[in-house]
Chains A and B, each alone.
Chain A
Amino acid sequence: MFANTSKHFQTVTTVGEEPARYLIEMAAAVAGGARELRERLLVSFVECTAGPLSHDTPNLEAALVAAEHGVPAGFLPLPLAAATAPATLAGTLVVTLAEALSGIVLLRLARPGVSCFIATAPSVIDLTSGGYTGGGPEDYVLAAAATQLAHSYGLPIAMGTMATGAKEPGWQAAVDDSLSTLAGVMSWADLMNGCGLLGGSRTLSYPHMVMETEVFGIVKKMAAGVVDDDTLALDAIAEVGPDGTYLGHKHTRRHAAAIRRPGIWDRTPHEVWQREGSRGAYEPAREIADGILADHRPEPLSDDVAAALRALVDRADRESVDA
C-alpha cells in the first residue's frame, strides 16, 4: 500500500497485537519516526466487531496498539437486521452503537483523549436467501441515522457506502451507489467507505471505482449549495435584461468553469451514439482505469524507507514462522 499510494489508508481489519505493531512500525518508517507519525497520521485502523454485542480479542488488541501510538482507531459493527440485530431499524441502531461505543470506551479508558471514530455498514438480511443484500433502502437509512447519532456523541463516522450487492457495474449497482452516496453526503458523513466494491464487498473492480467517483462528484457538487450574492447575479440580470443572453457576459465567463463536466456520461445525439458503438458508461470507465494503471506513478518512497519496509516484512515473516 505504502509503495502504491501517497494517500491515507485504513486497514480493515488488523487482527492481533503483533501485526498491529508491525504496521505501526511501517507507518512510522514512512512518516519519519514514531513522533512524526503522531503528527502525520498516514494510517488508521478499522476494527470489525463480532455482533451481536461482542468484540474479538485480537481486534481489540490491535486497536489498543493503535491507540498506544496515537493512531486513530474505529470500530465497525456490521449488523444484519433480523439475524445479528433486531429486524427493526431502531433496534439495529441500538446494537450498532452499543458495539461501536463499547470499543471506543475501552480505548479511551486505556488512552484518554485518543482519536476514535465510528465506522458502520448496517444492512438487512435478504428474506429470500438469508444472505447479505449489499444494498437496500434500509442500509442507507441506517447509515444516515448512524451518522447523525455518531455526531450527537461528538464522534466522526466512516460510513459504509457504495459496495453494492450487484455483481457487475450495471443498473443495480447504479441504484445502490447513487442512493448510498446521496445518503452519505447529505447526512455529512466524515468518510465514505466502499468505493470500487461489488458483490457485497467481495469483489474489487477498477472501472466500477471510476464510475462511483463520477457519482460522488455529482452528489458532492449538489451539496455545495446554490445561493450567495455572486450566484444570485442580480447585477448581471439587470444588465442582460429581457430576452438577452448571458453567453458573453463576464459573470458567465467567471462561473462557467464551475459547471461540472462529466467524465463518463454520454451526451451525444442518439445517432452519433449508435454510430460510435452504442457504448455504455462501463467502456469509458474501463479505459480510464486502464490508463491510470498504465500511466499513473505515485510519489515513490525513498530508497531507505523502501528498504526499511522490506526489512520489516522479512522480519515479520521470520518471526511468524518461528512462532
Chain B
Amino acid sequence: MSDGIRLELLAAAEVTALRTEVLERLGARAAAVTAALDRAPAGWTLHGRAAEPVPFGGGTLLIAGGPAASTLDRFDADLRMLQAADVAAFCRLADALPQVSVVAPPCFTPPGVVAPGEGSDGGGRPAASACAAATGSPAAATGPLRTAGGSLPAAATALAATGKHLLLSARGVVEAQAIVDMALAVAGGRDALRERPPLSMWVWPGDKTADMVRLAAEAGVPAFLPVVPTGGGRTALIEALSAGLKTTAGAQNVAPGAPVALSLLADRDGPLDVAGFAAAAAACQLAHSFGLPLAATTLSCSAATPDWLASAENTTAALTAWLAGADGLAGAGLLRGGSVTSLVQLALDAEIASYVAATVAGVRVDDESLAVDVIEKVGIGGNYLGEKHTRRTMRHVWRPRFFDRVPCEQWIREGRRQSAELAAEFVERTLADHHVPPLAPALVAELERIVRRAAAS
C-alpha cells in the first residue's frame, strides 16, 4: 500500500542544525520551553456547527480565506472594499466546496462606522503601519486593520453562512475575548467548547500576542500563532520560530495540553518565490521536530487576477506544503498577497488542492493494482477499455471541474473558454443552490451582543 509521497527539503542533519540554532536563540529558557512543549498536542479535532469533524494534524487541511478587506468578485472587476454580502458569499461558497475544511472569513466595515486611522487604541489593536512593519505583510496593512471591529462583524455573518469550522482573527485582547465568548456561545458551554471547538483563533502578531494565546488556551479555543520571518531567509525563520515556541510554551504553562498551532505567514510584497516555498517546507519540518502542527499561509498569491501567475504560484505552494506535510494550507481564495478575496480564485484554488492531494497520494502497489493477470490477458497490441479490471478501478481517476480537455477544434468552436470562466459559472450556480442550516435566532442575538460589547470596549 502507499502512504503517499512526502518531501523532506531539509536532511536530518540540517533539521538538527536549525533546531540547535533555534534552541540557542531561546538561550537560558530553552530547557523550560522544550519541557513545556512536551505537553503540547500534535493534533486535535476541529468541529463545525453543521459539518463533519475534521482531524487537524497528520494531514493537510485546506483553509479558505483570511483577513482580507477588499474583493474582486469577477475576473476583470475593479477592486472594492468588502461588504457583509461578500463575506456571506465567500463563506457559503467555501461551505459548498468539499476540499475546504476550515473557513477564515474576510473582514468588512459595518455601515456608518469609520475605519481606524493611525495610532494604537486601548483595546490593544496595533496601528496599521506598525503591524505592517512588524509583519511585512500587505494583508496586515489592508486587512482587518482597515476595518472597524476587525473580523468580529464578519464572524456572525460567517457563522450563518457556513457550518464548517471557522478561524477568526484577533488583533488584540478585546477581540480575543470576544472570539472566546463566541466560541462558548456556539459550542454551548465550557465543557462542550473544550471537547468540540467550533472556532479557532488566528492571533495577529503584536505586543499582545502572548496574552491572546493565553486567553484562548484557558478557554480551550485552538490558537494559530503567527510565525512571520520578517525579511526572509533562514535567519528570519529561526528568529520567528523561536518566538513562536516561547509563546506556545507559555500557553502550555497556563493550560497544559492547550491546542496551539504555528501559522507561517508569508512575508512578501511580491510573488511567493523560492525563499517562501522553501521556508514553508523547512518550517513544517522544524515545527514537527518540536511536536507542533503548522499551517502555511502560502496560498495568498501575489497575482491580481486568477490567471497564469496565480496558478503557478499556488500550485507550487500547494504541492510544496502538501509534500512537506503541512497540517494546514491557508489563503485559498485570496489574491494580492492576501489582501483581496475572489470567489473565482477560491473555486480554482479548491481545484488545485484536489489535484495536489491526488498527486501526493502516491502509487498503491498490490496484486490488484499491478494487474499482471490483466496485462497477460490483454497481451500485445490489445485494449484495456473493455476489461472488468478497468471498470472496477477507473473510478479512482481524478476528474477536474475547470480543466479543458476537449480537442482544439472543439475548444475554438465553443469559444476558447478559460478555466476562470468555467469557475465563475460554477460559483454562480453554487451560490444560487447551496443551502446552509440557519443559526438559531437566540444565538444570532447573542453573537450581536458580543460584537457590540467588544466595539464599545
Contacts and interface: CB of A to CB of B under 8 A. Distances in A.
Interface string A77-99: 00001111111111101110000
Interface in B384-435: 384-385, 387, 389-390, 393-394, 396-400, 402-408, 411-412, 416, 418-420
B271 A262 contact: yes
B370 A175 contact: no
Contact of A218 (B14, B316, B394): B316
B234 interface: yes
B308 A171 contact: yes
Nearest to B364: A90
A85 B21 CA distance: 51
B79 to A, nearest CB: 7
Contacts of A179: 315, 319, 355-356, 359
Among A178, A215, A281, max chain B CB count under 10 A is at: A178
A200 to B, nearest CB: 8
Interface stretch (B86-94, B196-204, B371-379, B437-445): B371-379
B191 interface: no
Contact of B319 (A167, A182, A262): A182
Interface in A236-286: 236-237, 246, 259-260, 262, 265-267, 270, 273-274, 278, 280-282
A90 to B, nearest CB: 4
A226 B308 contact: no
Given A266-B309, A282-B308, A171 B5 contact: no
Contacts of A169: 308
Contacts of B109: none
A81 B385 CA distance: 9
Contacts of B351: 175
Nearest to A265: B271
B380 A267 contact: no
Contact of A262 (B273, B382, B394): B273
B57 interface: no
Contacts, number: 257
Interface of A: 50, 52-54, 81-91, 93-95, 124-129, 131, 133-138, 140-142, 144-145, 165-175, 177-179, 182-183, 186, 199, 202-203, 211, 214-215, 218-219, 221-222, 225-227, 231-234, 236-237, 246, 259-260, 262, 265-267, 270, 273-274, 278, 280-282
Contacts of A94: 370-372, 375
A172 B419 CA distance: 7
B384 A178 contact: no
